[in-house]
Amino acid sequence: MALDPVSSIGTAMNSRGDEQAVRTERSPRDPAAIRSMATDPESERVRREWISVATRHGYSYNFSWLGVPIIQHPEDVVIIQELTRRFSTTQMPRGD
């Protein structure tokens, strides 16, 4: 029986220690890591393959945002939300 991808991630994290140990390996938004991934030929090949497979299976048609169907990959929506929040001219309540 194949392990689902999400379980695989959790298993990999647990085999290396706790989540904190994994997080300390590289800080978020590490410019060197981002540049490294952007210039890695294997990374580019995998990204292109992922887009091809995802498109073939209609991946972007499976999501909604606040109950409204969207034709977008979830990671794109997170990026749009982050940019909107970062560059918004109005102060939005955080709900804390």
List, for residues 66-88, the tens digit of each pLDDT value: 888 888 888 888 888 888 888 87
List, for residues 17-52, the tens digit of each pLDDT value: 555 655 556 666 778 888 888 889 999 999 999 999
Instruction: Write the CB contacts of 54 (distance below 8 Å, at least 6 apart in sequence).
Output: 60, 73
C-alpha distance from residue 48 to each of 62, 79, 86 (Å) = 20, 19, 29
Q: Are 33 and 26 in contact (CB under 8 A)?
A: yes
Residue 19, Cα to own-chain centre: how many angstroms? Answer: 17
pLDDT number for residue 11 = 53
pLDDT number for residue 5 = 47
pLDDT confidence of 6, banded at 50, 70, 90?
Answer: very low
Between 65 and 7, where is the model more confident? 65
